[in-house]
Amino acid sequence: MIFTSQHLLSVKDISLEAIHSLFAVAEQMRPYANREKVTRVLEGAVLGNMFFEPSTRTRVSFGSAFNLLGGEVRETTGLSNSALAKGESLYDTAQVLSGYSDVIVMRHPEPYSVEQFATGSRVPVINGGDGANEHPTQALLDLFTIKNELSSLGKDIADLRLTLLGDLKHGRTVHSLCHLLSLYKGLKVQLVSPKALALPQKYIDMLTNAGHDVQTGDNLESGLSKANVIYQTRIQEERFSTKEEADQYKGYFRLNKQIYSQHCQPDTVIMHPLPRDSRGNANELDNDLNKEPGLAIFRQTDNGVLVRMALFACILGVENQLAAYERKVNWQVGVR
Amino acid sequence: MIFTSQHLLSVKDISLEAIHSLFAVAEQMRPYANREKVTRVLEGAVLGNMFFEPSTRTRVSFGSAFNLLGGEVRETTGLSNSALAKGESLYDTAQVLSGYSDVIVMRHPEPYSVEQFATGSRVPVINGGDGANEHPTQALLDLFTIKNELSSLGKDIADLRLTLLGDLKHGRTVHSLCHLLSLYKGLKVQLVSPKALALPQKYIDMLTNAGHDVQTGDNLESGLSKANVIYQTRIQEERFSTKEEADQYKGYFRLNKQIYSQHCQPDTVIMHPLPRDSRGNANELDNDLNKEPGLAIFRQTDNGVLVRMALFACILGVENQLAAYERKVNWQVGVR
Amino acid sequence: MIFTSQHLLSVKDISLEAIHSLFAVAEQMRPYANREKVTRVLEGAVLGNMFFEPSTRTRVSFGSAFNLLGGEVRETTGLSNSALAKGESLYDTAQVLSGYSDVIVMRHPEPYSVEQFATGSRVPVINGGDGANEHPTQALLDLFTIKNELSSLGKDIADLRLTLLGDLKHGRTVHSLCHLLSLYKGLKVQLVSPKALALPQKYIDMLTNAGHDVQTGDNLESGLSKANVIYQTRIQEERFSTKEEADQYKGYFRLNKQIYSQHCQPDTVIMHPLPRDSRGNANELDNDLNKEPGLAIFRQTDNGVLVRMALFACILGVENQLAAYERKVNWQVGVR
């Protein structure tokens, strides 16, 4: 298994073979995450969940994933009082912290900081997000969700007609997803964004070079009508260079029940990296979509637990031992 | 059992029958909390201990209670960096977080926020305090303490002569306790407070309608002399409308050893929701009462662990399995 | 065993006999910390890791040590929102928190606060650092490291030629180490610091009275050449009374590969309490020493886990039960 005892620092490190292995393990995690049974395969292991930049949901997702495998979690949140703020190098921090745990998840506001950190670590390091650079587990859970949603519609990744929608210029989740998609061939990808927030050319080239059919535009309707999966990201008005341009697109990429019903094919899957802004004036997914079966945003975060469990299991080399440490669930389980 | 797989959002949801069941389970928790034996009944379960408002003691009490049942705890403290601050709805937050845990305790500064949160949660939610509104587990541990203290004096809840003392206008713990007390009949309740900080009429009516003998006044001595349980809450000077009124009551509701000895009957129980202000000029319980057998304030916080353990056990439906997952305590136990 | 069920508040409480017992247990912890095997001897026990002053590495070190013994950790970081900030006494805080855990580690910015806290605790308390006063586990891990490094060179503590280097006036780690060293006899100790930052006379007397050969000076070269162990602490320029004096010593106590090769005997051990400032203008240990076998700074932090595991085991009286709760490590272990 390609991940064993290695770092996961970048989506660029991941082969298609590794993805398929990882996703097969993630599928095996479902009964444990759904509380049909318990595995204690990592009982006694310690995760260092080092969030030098706050991110409640990502931190708790990693921590829960480790707990669901039976392991313990030590963690930190925030940079201000840490030794890093006193001039300690990332190398030193890694040397010290890797003496306290079996695997480390690290999030840090500086691009490439996690890579630097990994040079000093004596245990595997997973990049939990390094500023504007990467957030590889988000890309993995996004791809896993695309495959799963298609599968539950009786389709395959080869059938993907993906529309990336919104601010495609700044979103690192979209960029990382492009990297993973470029491992496949012949997919249909539409890029729908305001001109000022278009996907950078290097990612367009990446998709094109992979042999994908890439269409670009700023027309929402046509973007929606051809897709079977929509991946929406937030547009923030301050991203535009002029107020006139911002006003021109105001509310234009907003998706609600009426627009979805009118323009999308039935069963079209809606994804979003979350959080979505649910305030009245937000350019986002409306709450009136909450009952739509196609709204996959919470299945997406649930999948994050599966993928992170699989990642820990593969990196620590226990993916074939899950059943050996299995127990029944003796408590009453909620509606999951 | 009425609690199974249900939320605990408000004291209004709780029946007398549910209370009695819960307290019976809480009594069974005593040997585990006192470290006479260990139970691992929730080994493998995960608590989401979500404190979007800091509260060290309540957070640690819930977390320890879950650990004492063998479960794992993931948690967050503070609101500022969370997705909620970026416009995410409580519904979305709940959808996401409920994919990470088996039960959630939520504390949040906004009244009714926890109720709203629960609408999006796929697992049971316990209200850990929602601003000025409610803190139902505090009310439960207070009632449990009243019953236990009376019991250790050979008395029953029917013998209760309770004096609620201090700021009865603002304290949510007092208001929630009134709700629970109104499930009983024929108790004696004295309300002693400065006129400006009197118990709101709706709670007086609630107690009267339950058939309790309710007396009100601002005379400390008479309030103390008739009680067998005193529940004191802090008076903050800024609560008064004028400085003159504040000065008029300055130190008037302070309880110390001399006042206790002079005015209270022997064995009178003293309770307080804590923290108490122990600075010299505080209108509080004096430290010279620390050796009084009647001072129940730390038994009260200890009882919080029992009640929260019982609540988790009942909500997750494992209250009859405690002994099946029992082990001996192999370490040396402190003086508890 | 002298530690059982007792607090560890000060290095002054520790006898030579207790140190030797503790260090023997710490040696037994090595295979568990190195993940050659797992012990679950404290499964079911709860540590209250109460850091009322942030310190990521010390907090995580204590927490991991407890996890490595199989126990659970509840913790807090920071003072601002705690009840202490609302006037609660340390006695009350301790009474409350000791109802939630089996042992407490407490760190607090106020000198002697942990001692005061311990008066209210019903479980053993370990001082995790109380401001400028003490940090006894740091002193213990420093002494353990000195003994271990000498031992791996085929030497004994009696062979110690220790140079304490840098700011000897302010560093509580140096002062606490002097306390522990004064339990031994006839060691060679050189004190090398700028005159303004010399070791306070009481510690010099302490070492001299113990029968050690104590030399003082501000000459780096002679300080290095005679040592087999160098303990360096940071010099901060703002510590000097005048800028002229600061400038006079600028970079003077900096240790790098060239100075080390030129002036130190082969195999000379370099220690540092960390964090070290790795920014270009820092008066510290240079990164070019990172590959030197003598650089013991990360073995030192690793030893912190061993010593803290041993301390927990001895205080909770399970030091003879480690093997009885042993399991194999079923995951793949990093390079440690």
Any domain includes C2: no
How confident is the model over B254-296, as pLDDT tens digits? 899 999 999 999 999 999 999 998 887 777 899 999 999 999 9
Other CB atoms within 10 Å distance of the CB of residue A225: 15
Asked whether residue A142 carries a pLDDT value surpassing 50, the answer given is: yes
Q: How confident is the model at residue B25 (pLDDT cuts 50, 70, 90)?
A: very high
Any domain includes B334: no
Any domain includes A124: yes
The pLDDT assigned to B309 comes to 98
Q: Does residue A282 contact residue B87 with C-beta atoms inside 8 Å?
A: yes
Is C117 in the same domain as C165?
no
Which of chain B's residues have a Cβ under 8 Å away from the Cβ of C82? 54, 56
* Per-residue model confidence as pLDDT tens for chain C (336 residues): 457 779 999 999 899 999 999 999 999 999 999 999 999 999 999 999 999 998 999 999 999 999 999 999 999 987 765 666 678 999 999 999 999 999 999 999 999 999 999 999 999 999 999 998 999 999 999 999 999 999 999 999 999 999 999 999 988 899 999 999 999 999 999 999 999 899 999 999 999 999 999 999 988 888 999 999 999 998 877 777 888 877 777 777 889 999 999 999 999 999 999 999 888 777 789 999 999 999 999 999 999 999 999 999 999 999 999 999 999 999 998 654
In this prediction the ipTM stands at: 0.95
Q: Which of A42-46, A79-83, C168-172 has the highest mean pLDDT?
A: A42-46
When comparing pLDDT for A238 and A168, which is higher?
Answer: A168
Most A CBs within 10 Å: which of B102, B121, B319, B321, as the mutation test of the A interface? Answer: B102
Structurally, chain C folds into a number of domains equal to 2
Q: What are phi and psi of C311, to 5 degrees?
A: -65, -45
The pLDDT assigned to B81 comes to 58
| Ordered DSSP codes for C210-277 | TT-EEEEES-HHHHHHT-SEEEE----GGGSSSHHHHHHTTTTT-B-HHHHHHHSPTT-EEE--S---
Cβ B123–A336 below 8 Å, yes or no?
Answer: yes
Give percent of chain A above pLDDT 70: 96
The pLDDT assigned to A302 comes to 98
Most A CBs within 10 Å: which of C52, C60, C278, C329, as the mutation test of the A interface? Answer: C60
Task: Choose the closest CB to A56 out of B41, B83, B92.
Answer: B83
Is C25 in the same domain as C129?
yes
User: A301-324 burial, b if ≥16 CB within 10 A, otherwise e?
Assistant: bbbbbbbbbbbbbbbbbbbebbee
The pLDDT assigned to B80 comes to 63
- Measured CA to CA, the distance from residue B60 to residue B62 in angstroms comes to 5
Any domain includes A179: yes
Least confident of A157-161, A331-335, B159-163, C262-266: A331-335
Is C290 in the same domain as C315?
no
Query: Cis (ω within 30 of 0) for the bond into C266?
Result: no
The pLDDT assigned to B17 comes to 95
Q: Does residue A235 contact residue A166 with C-beta atoms inside 8 Å?
A: yes
User: A243-260 burial, b if ≥16 CB within 10 A, otherwise e?
Assistant: eebbeebeeebbbeeebb
Supply the mean pLDDT for chain C.
92
- The three-point CA angle A219-A248-A239 to 5° equals 95
Is B248 in the same domain as B285?
yes
Is C243 in the same domain as C147?
yes
The pLDDT assigned to C153 comes to 96
Residues from B contacting C (CB-CB < 8 Å) are 35, 38, 40, 54-57, 59-61, 63-64, 67-68, 70, 72-73, 78, 274-279, 282, 287, 290, 298, 301-302, 305, 327, 329-336
The pLDDT assigned to A85 comes to 66
The pLDDT assigned to B336 comes to 47
Helix (H) or strand (E) holding B258: helix B257-263
Task: Choose the closest CB to B74 out of A60, A329, A332.
Answer: A60
The pLDDT assigned to C296 comes to 98
Task: Choose the closest CB to B317 out of A55, A59, A332.
Answer: A332
Any domain includes C18: yes
Which amino acid is present at C69?
L
Is A96 in the same domain as A149?
no
Is A199 in the same domain as A66?
no
Which amino acid is present at C220?
L
The pLDDT assigned to A83 comes to 64
Rounded to the nearest 10 degrees, the angle between the axes of helix A172-181 and helix A201-209 is: 20
Cβ B40–C45 below 8 Å, yes or no?
Answer: no
CATH number for B321: 3.40.50.1370
Any domain includes B1: no
Return the partners of chain A (3 or more C-beta pairs < 8 Å): B, C
Any domain includes C274: yes
Is C150 in the same domain as C50?
no
The pLDDT assigned to C84 comes to 66
Asked whether residue A1 carries a pLDDT value surpassing 70, the answer given is: no
Residue in A with minimal Cα distance to C74:
A74
Is C129 in the same domain as C151?
no
pLDDT, mean of residues A175-197: 95
Asked whether residue B212 carries a pLDDT value surpassing 90, the answer given is: yes
- C138–chain B nearest CA distance, Å: 25
Domain holding C89, by residue range, is 11-134+304-328
Which of chain A's residues have a Cβ under 8 Å away from the Cβ of B86? 275, 277
Is B71 in the same domain as B218?
no
* CA-based nearest residue to B271, from B245, B292, B248: B292
What is the sign, positive or negative, of the torsion defined by CA atoms of A25, A60, A331, B5? negative
Which of chain A's residues have a Cβ under 8 Å away from the Cβ of C331? 41-42, 45, 102, 316-318
Cβ B41–A330 below 8 Å, yes or no?
Answer: yes
Cβ B277–C48 below 8 Å, yes or no?
Answer: no
Is A130 in the same domain as A143?
no
pLDDT, mean of residues B165-188: 94
Any domain includes B333: no
Is C276 in the same domain as C289?
yes
